[in-house]
Amino acid sequence: MEPEFVQGMSRVAEGEVHLTTAKRVAGWLRPAWVEVSLAAVEANAAYVAGLVAPARVCAIVKADGYGHGAVLVAEAALAGGATYLGVALAEEGHELRTAGIDAPVLVLSEPPPEAMRLVIEDGLIPTLYTEEGTHALLEAAARLNPEAPVPVHLKVDTGMHRVGATPGAAVELARAIAGEPRLRLDGLFTHLAVADAPADPFTAHQLDVFEATRSALARQGILPSLLHAANSAGALWHPRSRYDMVRPGIALYGLGPAPSVQDPLLGGLRPALSLKAEVTLAKEVAAGEGLSYGLRYRLTEPSTVATVPVGYADGVPRRLAGTGGEVLIGGRRYPIAGSVTMDQLMVDCGPGANVKAGDEVVLIGRQGDQEITAWDWAERLGTIAYEVTCALSPRLPRIYT
């Protein structure tokens, strides 16, 4: 299927142009782009939904859908069987509502007081874990007078110690929420710290703490209708953590939660994102010449050097070349030569290479029988695939197939 260009928050049906002409439209004159398969996102959501059924799926689309584009990714995930969406910020939820998405949207961390108005106006579901946050939500509800009680989810810190109420405080806060007619406690949840290491016993400990908190609430007659704990790794590798709903993030985008875990379950995921460009200049450079800033990359023989119009301002880390970073051109792997610069990088294609301006360059994705993944980058850079896709700059247009 030929890719279609979608600029900003436009729908595919509006103002679409084909890839062959997209490089000539205003706002995208440079041949470098991110390509996103919405079919892959939908298939990944359906795969996870089938794996965890009867648990629901809350598709995590925060951080602009991990760099994939939140609105279109959310629509694809819902088409694949997700029934909830998860965001980090009320502003991210507002973006979904502005685009016409009416599915339940959970704000995964407690919104600051100044965001509670937006939460209520957009019909978002806030997370609570402090008395201050609860009071701020109540004040906003009193001012705006919503027609029905505001649904909330209570987050319990079971050992990750990022956000959430301690188990004891969670019970007290749940009692306070249950006693407020303007609020309705719909959910209780936690977040797993090491679920991507399946053999680590700490996940079982966290779930034990969560169960104890759940039981303490039940003794108070408080029974939230939605219990959830599983991120992508929990959903895949810890069936006990699935409860009533799972919250896949990285799996939704077709990437495993950890490169070190080889599991047949990962075979059901399809990577959704590719990073591509075109060669803008190819030239023969003599042996002994240095390339890029610092001239630290020296050619040992005459070589065809290709310039590619993408750099660290686009999310390609400067140090990628020094860790053995490669690109694909014509179905072959070639090394990035010298430091990645702000807007461009160079590729050592070897002597007499048949590489010319206009050739497609794949930095992340598949070309022929070769593939470079976000996890390949992550392992070279000492990070995780999540950071790789989230770091791809907004100045790279997103194309949706």
Q: Which residue numbers are catalytic?
A: 62, 293
Copy the structure tokens of residue 130.
Answer: 């402090």
* H/E element, 43: helix 38-52
Q: What's the Cα-to-Cα distance from 99 to each of 8, 9, 81, 125, rounded to whole Å?
A: 12, 8, 19, 17
Q: Burial of 142 by CB count in 10 Å (0-12 exposed, 13-18 middle, 19+ buried)?
A: exposed
Q: Burial of 224 by CB count in 10 Å (0-12 exposed, 13-18 middle, 19+ buried)?
A: buried
| HEC per residue, 115-146 | HHHHHHHCCCEEEECCHHHHHHHHHHHHHHCC
Rounded distance, CA 362 to CA 339, Å?
A: 18
Q: Burial of 354 by CB count in 10 Å (0-12 exposed, 13-18 middle, 19+ buried)?
A: exposed
CB 175 within 8 Å of CB 186: no
Residues present in the chain in total:
401
| 3-state secondary structure at position 103 | coil
The residues, any chain, with a CB within 8 Å of residue 233's CB and separated by 6 or more, are 192, 195, 196, 198, 257, 258
* H/E element, 276: strand 273-278
